[in-house]
Amino acid sequence: MDEKIKVLILEDMPEDAELVEQELKKTLKNYTLQVTDNEKGFIDALKNYKPDLILSDYNLPQFNGMEAIKLTKEISPLTPVIIVTGSINEEIAVDCIKAGAKDYVLKENLTRLGPAITQVLEKKALIEARIKADEAVKESEEQYFMLFNNANELIQILDSTGKFLAVNKEWMATLEYSKEEVKNLQLLDIIRKDKLQQVGELMQGIKGGESISFETIFISKSGKEIIVEGNGNGIFKDGKLISMIGMFRDITERKKTENDLCLSEKKFRSYVEQASEGIYLFELKKPISINMPVEEQIKNIYEGYIIEANDSQAKMYGFDKANELNGMTLAEFHGGTDNPENLEFLRSWIEANYRITDAESKEVDKDGNELWFTNNIIGYVEDGYLIHIWGTQTDITERKQAEKALKNSEERLKILFESAPDAIYLNDLKGTFIDGNRAAEDLMGYTREELIGESFLKLKLISGKELLKASKLLVKNIQGKGTGPDELILNRKDGSQVTVEILTYPVKIKDKTMVLGIAHDITERKQAEEQIKKDLAEKNVLLQEIYHRTKNNMQVIASMLKMKSRQSDDEFVHDSFNDIVRKIQAMSLVHEKLYQAKDLSRINLKEYIEDILLMMIRYSTVNSELFSYKLELEEVFITIDSATPLGLVLNELISNVFMHSFPNDRKGELTISLEQEKSGDIKIQLSDDGVGPSADFDPEKSNLIGLQTVYSLVVYQLGGSINYEAKDGLSWFIKFNDSKNKLRV
Amino acid sequence: MKKIRILVVEDEVIIAKYLKMELELTGYDVCGFVRSGEEAIIKAKEKNPDVILMDINLYGKMDGIDAAKEIISLKDIPIIFCTGYGKKEFVERAQKLNPLAYLRKPILAEEVKEVIDAYFSEK
């Protein structure tokens, strides 16, 4: 023995104690020793020294061995007591053994003490070992029970027929049966009916010695379904099944979650598949560090490829099924890696932590046609690395193309507007400018910025004289009417003036009435018109001057002729000169009439006839008391081409009347009528009630130069006709048409 | 009886000469003939004629009516206007000066005589 054995000796005789110790030394290699000779010391040693072995004398002065045995049994029952005595009868010895002493050794025979100690200590060791073992078993059983009862799993023990022997707390809590109820319960009572066959087969397996894992459904006392997963084992004794142990976990919740998850995944799938938007998932060749420079990231992202997409996505690119897209890289979709618009949104996407909404991308379909999308893109980042990218996209190609077309047509309109040679502008109903084109800027001399927001009043664009006119235009616009063309004079910014021809139209723009104005610079045209007017006036003055000079010259000629005729006494010479003077006067009268005529080209034939007649009367020697005249003249205008020959004709005919019709102081009347027919033919009738011509009167064959001249003038020069009638005097009928003659001026 | 003296104002010298001849044949003394209004004023002051026969269209800036106005303002000399044109403007301006007559050209010496005789017989 290695441990120190603590020995207590109860002895009143020190010599005896020494002898005992000598024996101890022989027996025990390692020990400690206490010696006492009284009861008090003995009890104290039992309690504090806790001896492993007691060697007790029997007869002590106030104590004895029997009491020591009893005290030991009381205080430290496992400590063995050996009685070592000198004198003891058999009866006492037997009593001591009965009382609990393990042995007794006579002092006379101390050599037996060694073997006795050894034997007693061995026995004690055995007892102690047994006690320890018993305690260990007890502890382990408690632990198992604790485990059984507190396990989170459902544990059940059945006999070989399926009758319940025991269940744990969790089982009872879950299946809602009490301990008492379980005693009368069979396994079949807690299995859902559709699972009975399965459970039956499993039990056959267990009876065959298998350990079986399975999933089944229990029904609780209240009818709740409990899905369990677990295993069952058989316990056999001598090859015979005596009980079955089942351990289960309640997986009802897990199953439900799984179910829900499955359902939600199904829903999600169907959403993805049926979505009209394109939905896609890009995988990257390798994860991209989010710390990598942006341009390098983009380079890597362009190598990313589709691993999943929906059919809508495929159709957008001209494919039929989603799986046709698998493996296609982003670069392929973008038609390259250098489209600046796409690069821009990829940069923004990276900078916004791989999230972007409504980003526009320009891509190509499988035939290379241009496509436009709006994208919502999310990058999945883990531990600082971009792992994959998913997103949705909507095809906006049509809208984009429409926008482009609109932009084109807008641009065309803008060009039309800007390059129109006429000023085009918009103003509101107060005359405030809203917009204007380049021609408007040029016309008014203000820049668009200076014009917009200002009214023509404030800019003093319209001179005071024309304000009323301009405001009348605006009033018409307010009434919803267009105006023009009207002429206005505008004051330009630099103070110069332009004349414009303005057209305005009220237009509605977003329910607001505005005025669209178009102004055309007519300054040059106006100046040209003024010049023409001036030229015309000058020409008229000049023409008048010529008429005046011609008339004057004729008067001068007439004066010269009259002066010349004064120098002769010959009557024929006088008459001839006077005849010529009268003819000059008649022609001069045409020029006078033209000078007075408003249009300088046609003369009033009525006035001309009156003037010729009056002039002839002044120059003639007719007796005003005997001669009268009657005029029935319409207002007729003729050109100088007709007027001059007609003047000569009338001069000749009237002169003839004065000379021949009323001889010998015959009273007479001259009637001249003038009318113009609708055809334009002008008819002049000149009648007298005089003596009439002689019987052989034939004016065409007349040798009178005057009448021959009359016929020539009417027929050749006027292109007309002349007739006469000699009845109650003489009547001349002249008819001609002046409309062939062009206006000379 | 002393001859009535007439000043002829006429820009066409031939016509003036003819008138002078006619009027002198009729029995008047043509004391002068000039072709412009300016000359007419000077001549009127110098010769102090009894009547002025005044054409309206004259040589120079002044017309016959302006010249007559100037002369009337200086001396009370009766004026006979003669013109080829019955222009309203001329007639109206001429009437304001209250002339003896407003004769149409071509002038006849007999018509001038009628006017002058009528005026001087009244006088």
Residue A536: C-alpha distances to residues A532, A544, A604, B104, B114 (Å): 6, 12, 22, 29, 43
Q: Determine the residue among A545, A551, A556, A559 to mutate to test chain B binding: the one whose Cβ has the most chain B Cβ atoms within 10 Å.
A: A559
B86 to chain A: which residues are within 8 Å by CB? 596
Looking up tokens 């002393």 gives B2
Are B12 and A555 within 8 A, CB to CB? yes
Find residue A360's DSSP bridge partners: A374
A600 to chain B: which residues are within 8 Å by CB? none
pLDDT at site A404: 86
d(CA A373, CA A223) in angstroms, rounded, equals: 56
| Residue in B with minimal Cα distance to A619 | B108
d(CA A350, CA A389) in angstroms, rounded, equals: 11
d(CA A387, CA A286) in angstroms, rounded, equals: 8
pLDDT at site A307: 92
Choose among A559, A585, A596: nearest Cβ to B14.
A559
B17 to chain A: which residues are within 8 Å by CB? 559, 563
pLDDT at site A692: 86
CB A518 within 8 A of CB A423: yes
Rounded to the nearest angstrom, the minimum Cα separation between B83 and chain A is: 11
pLDDT at site A731: 94
d(CA A605, CA B41) in angstroms, rounded, equals: 40
pLDDT at site A708: 84
pLDDT at site A1: 46
Q: Determine the residue among B33, B56, B85, B113 to mutate to test chain A binding: the one whose Cβ has the most chain A Cβ atoms within 10 Å.
A: B85
pLDDT at site A742: 63
Q: Cβ of A740: how many Cβ atoms within 10 Å?
A: 12
Q: Determine the residue among A545, A555, A574 to mutate to test chain B binding: the one whose Cβ has the most chain B Cβ atoms within 10 Å.
A: A555
DSSP string for A207-219: HTT--EEEEEEEE
Provide ipTM, 2 decimals. 0.81
Q: Mean pLDDT for each consecutive 10-residue tract of chain A (745 residues)? A: 80 86 86 89 90 88 87 89 81 85 86 88 89 88 86 89 90 91 90 90 86 90 91 88 90 88 85 87 92 93 93 92 91 91 92 92 92 93 91 91 87 89 91 92 92 89 86 89 90 91 91 91 89 88 85 88 87 88 87 80 90 86 87 92 90 90 89 93 94 80 76 90 91 90 61
DSSP label of B107: P
Q: What is the share, in percent, of chain B residues with pLDDT greater than 70?
A: 97
Rounded to the nearest angstrom, the minimum Cα separation between A559 and chain B is: 6
Are A566 and B57 within 8 A, CB to CB? no
Find residue A191's DSSP bridge partners: A218
CB A425 within 8 A of CB A440: yes
Find residue A165's DSSP bridge partners: none
Angle at B76 between CA B70 and CA B82, to 5 degrees: 65
d(CA A640, CA A600) in angstroms, rounded, equals: 10
A562 to chain B: which residues are within 8 Å by CB? 18, 22
The rounded radius of gyration (Å) of the Cα atoms in chain B is: 13
What stretches of A279-338 show up as alpha helix (H) in DSSP? 294-301, 311-316, 330-334
Q: Half-sphere exposure of residue A647, counting CA atoms within 13 Å on the CB side?
A: 31
